[in-house]
C-alpha cells in the first residue's frame, strides 16, 4: 500500500515535508513482519530531521545492513544459504565484488 503523507514533528504538529509512505503488512512482506518504508524528498536537513524524529518514537528503529535478510531468515521466509548470499551481496563495495556475488 502506498500513500503520499505529510510528515509532521511529533511535538508541535508542524509539517516537516511530504513523503511517499509504503506499508508492507505481515505476513505478506519480505520479512514476514509489518514494515514501513519512507521515501523522503528534499534536503539533507529534512532527511536528518525525519530520522531524528523517527528514532524518538517507541518501537521504531532504522534497519541495519543485512537486517532484512536476517529477519527474513529468522521468520522462515528465506533459506539460510539465500539469506547469507543476499547479506553478502548487500555488503559488496566494488563492481568486481558485485559481479562475483551475482
Count of structural domains within the chain: 2
Same domain, yes or no, for 24 and 51? yes
Instruction: Choose the final residue of a domain: 30, 45, 61.
Output: 61
Model pLDDT for residues 8-24, shown as the tens digit of each residue: 887 788 888 889 999 99
Domain span including residue 85: 63-102
Same domain, yes or no, for 49 and 68? no
Report the predicted TM-score, pTM, of the whole model to 2 decimal places: 0.69
Cell numbers found for residue 8: 509532521
Per-residue CA distances from 74 to 24, 59, 71, 82, 86 (Å): 18, 19, 5, 12, 14
Same domain, yes or no, for 68 and 96? yes
Pairing relation of β-strands 2-8 and 35-39? unpaired
Report the C-alpha gap between 31 and 92 in whole angstroms.
21
Where does 9-65 show beta strands of DSSP type E?
15-24, 35-39
The mean predicted confidence, pLDDT, of the chain is 86
Amino acid at each position: 500500500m502506498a500513500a503520499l503523507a505529510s510528515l509532521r514533528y511529533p511535538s508541535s504538529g508542524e509539517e516537516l515535508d511530504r513523503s511517499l509512505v509504503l506499508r508492507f503488512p505481515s505476513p505478506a512482506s519480505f520479512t514476514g513482519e509489518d514494515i514501513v518504508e519512507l521515501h523522503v524528498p528534499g534536503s539533507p536537513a529534512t532527511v536528518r530531521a525525519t530520522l531524528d524524529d523517527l528514532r524518538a518514537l517507541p518501537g521504531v528503529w532504522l534497519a541495519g545492513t543485512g537486517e532484512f535478510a536476517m529477519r527474513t531468515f529468522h521468520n522462515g521466509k528465506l533459506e539460510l544459504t539465500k539469506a547469507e548470499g543476499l547479506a553478502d551481496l548487500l555488503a559488496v563495495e566494488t563492481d568486481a565484488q558485485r559481479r562475483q556475488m551475482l
